[in-house]
Amino acid sequence: MKPLALRLPSVGIAALACLVAACSPNAADNAAKETAEKAAEAADASADVATAAAGATTDAADAATTALVVDPAAIEALEKMSAYLRTLKSFEMEATTTADTVLESGQLVQFGGKVIYRVRQPDAVQVVWDTDRKHRTLYYDGKNLTLYAPRMKYYAQTEAPPTIRETAVLIEDKLGLDLPLVDLFRWGTDSADTASIASGIVVGPATINGARCMQYAFNQNDVDWQIFIQEGDKPVPCKIVITTLSDEARPQFSATLNWKENPSFSPAIFTFTPGKDDQRIKIAEVQS
């Protein structure tokens, strides 16, 4: 007998409270404002009553904070990291990854892998993406995007926009490539959209590969995600954990990241040149 019960999320009191009270910042503000107005009215009648009402205002604000936590410090840390990443003219990031697959039975199996991003702004990327099941390399040289399966010898190539940023959209939205950690290209751009973060908190300090990092936890779209950001003057992400909520088994992806800043790359690594055994195939586009 599997402990299915432990996987099930709760239908709790706070949820009901949220539904009833519409737990949004605006609602909280309104509630506080209303209380404050009442307090002001009361102040005309009696100074003592006004004091009591002011106390109630504080209570209401506290309650709102508990129900919906978006700590500005967490958002600020994300923005600082993003801004820093944008300053890197080139970088090599190697991540050790684990990713859960959910079997039909609901059981999770974990696969290990490695992904290396070699990036030269604004128009060159090589991604080497090897998991226990799949080996892929992605090449982008400002003109073409190539997806290559080195073991199967298949490659697909398509024309690409002139910048990494636009190409990231092509990769995600048009080709449906679920490239791990593609967020690296989003952070610091308009599409990063920190506005859709529903909750964000500062968890506390952690040590990742010997580096001192600060841990943050967010909820956004249909994922819970955690990011550990290096402390000091080079705020790169040290580790990322993403929990998928749309499946009740809650599969997780985790990546521990190692950074090499501003390395020099041979331009040739960004352009795919087919070998004699390589075969060109097509790539399906997402039909939305």
Partner 1 sequence: MIRSILSLLLAFAVTSALTPDPAEAQRRGGGGGGHAARGGGGGHAARGGAHQSVGGGGGNRSAARSAGAQRPASANTGANRGSMDRTAGANRGNVDRTAGADRGNVDRGNVDRGDRNVDRGDRNVDRDTNIGSNNDINIDVDDGWGGGDWDYHPIAAGVAFGTAAAVTSAAIGSMYYSLPSSCPPYPYGGYTYHYCNNVWYQPQYSGSTVNYVVIDDPR
Helix (H, G, I), strand (E, B) or coil at 171: helix
Per rule CB under 8 A, is residue 164 in the interface with partner 1? no
**Judged by CB under 8 A, does residue 101 bind partner 1?**
yes
Among 84, 91, 117, 129, binds partner 1 (CB under 8 A): 129
> Which of these ranges, 30-38, 50-58, 231-239, 244-252, lies near partner 1 under the rule CB under 8 A?
244-252
Residue closer to partner 1 (CB basis): 124 or 227: 227
**Footprint on residues 18-57 left by partner 1 (CB under 8 A):** 18-19
Residue 276 interacts with partner 1 (CB under 8 A): yes or no = no
Write the single-letter amino acid at 186: R
- Enter the tokens of residue 137: 């390399």
Sign of torsion over alpha carbons 164, 167, 173, 177 = negative
Please state, in angstroms and as integers, the Cα–Cα distance from residue 112 to each residue in 101, 105, 243, following that order: 11, 21, 16
For residues 97 and 113, the answer to whether their CB atoms sit within 8 Å is yes
Minimum distance from residue 177 beta carbon to partner 1 (Å)? 5
Min dist. Cβ of residue 211 to partner 1 (A): 21
According to CB under 8 A, which one of 48, 73, 152, 263 is a site residue for partner 1?
152
112 is an interface residue for partner 1 by CB under 8 A: no
- Pairing between β-strand 154-159 and β-strand 279-280 as defined by DSSP bridges: parallel
Phi, psi for residue 242 in degrees, rounded to 5: -125, 125
Per-residue binding letters, 211-240, with partner 1 (x by CB under 8 A): ------xxxxxxx-x--------------x
Does residue 153 interact with partner 1 by CB under 8 A? yes
192/202 Cα distance (integer angstroms): 19
CB of 260 to partner 1, least distance (A): 21
C-alpha–C-alpha distance, residues 253 and 150, integer Å? 24
